[in-house]
Structure 1
Amino acid sequence: MKKISWFWAAICSLLLIIVFIGWQQFGKLNPSADMLSEQEAQKLVQERYQGKVSLIKLTSQQYHIELEKQNRLYVIKLDAESGKVLSFAEIGSTGKSTPPAPPTEVELTEEEIKKIVLTAANGSLVSLEKIVTNQETTFKAIVNEADKQTTIIVDAISGTILSSTSTAVNQPPKRLTEPEAVQVASKQVLGEVDDIWLETEGDRTYYFVKIETKDDREATVQIHAITGEVLSVTWDDHDSDNNDKDDDD
């Protein structure tokens, strides 16, 4: 009888151990109704720390959660029943790099734009105007060249010449300079220039160059001030004046 009693006692003890172990395992795998669900735990952490949950698992009535925030990685231990944060630790970076912000576009200065313009067109800068259209900024430059006027459009940021157009300009006729007029007159009469002056008749302008020769004679050369054409050579006749004086005597 004693053997049978000890046998049943051992059987009962073994059953109790099996039930206890089973309850432990079952309890770990199946959270009770009072425990937070994974969705609730994830929402709680994300709202509290403003990050993104990348991993969550339940172990021994605790949620082990990995949270990504600002390219950093954190591990959080959360009580599955109360929702209390048991630990919060940073374990490194996520390995994800934030794309760099695009560089701020800086406009070229007016001096830089002028250099670009005068490299493209050999002349004098008449005007430089900044134009903003559809959030794009350009410079409009006008350059006077020898016989034309050129309008150049330049991108304000890159300095690229977007367009260049030229129009012919009617230049007023160029007038001879006094040295040029003297040179023309000296080819007609050899001597020393005594005087030079300009006269205008209507819409025509003339140079008059007075030259004194070595034999004391004087000649006045009339030259067209634009074309350089010699129109007349007039001599002052001193011999006639002397003869007239002798006759009077």
Structure 2
Amino acid sequence: MANRFKVLISIGLLTLLIILGWQWVHQSLSAEPLSESDVREKIQTQYNGEITDVTSMEDHYLATIALDEGVYEVVVIKTDGRISEIRPLESFKDNDSPSPPEDKSESAQTEPITEEKAKAVALNEIEGEVDDIDFESEEDSAFYLVEVERSGGAEATVQVHALTGEIMSVTWDD
């Protein structure tokens, strides 16, 4: 009699666990992807600029946003709304228009910022722990690549301009 009661309780608990597991899997698989208007709202609240285009791809959106500094392409993941990458398309600082006089003066920044400053800039943008910092130099640009690891395991690479200390891009690793 006692064995029969234990078997019935075990079967009941197993059935309950199966039902709860099925509901959890069903709920996570049936999550609705973000709509274009949700993406526009998310980008608009995070970056104060004019969104000129939003294109829906298979698993992400590509949005083009015009800011004071230039035009950028923002990649937003459909399922969770996370911004996975920001790429500069056009920089307004490179225009043929004359630069303000203070940019041409001797007081303009000509020495790169320190690794510590690049680290602080990256951690101000992405909360986490710095995993690695690399200094990179290309034809007309020098920058730091700062890898930041978040507590949940997500990792981002923050590209920090070596002269201005401005964030050039943020790329999330999957």
Provide the TM-score with structure 2 as the length reference.
0.38
Higher-Rg structure is 1
Provide the TM-score with structure 1 as the length reference.
0.27
Higher strand share: 1
Higher RCO, 1 or 2 (CA under 8 Å, sep at least 6)?
2
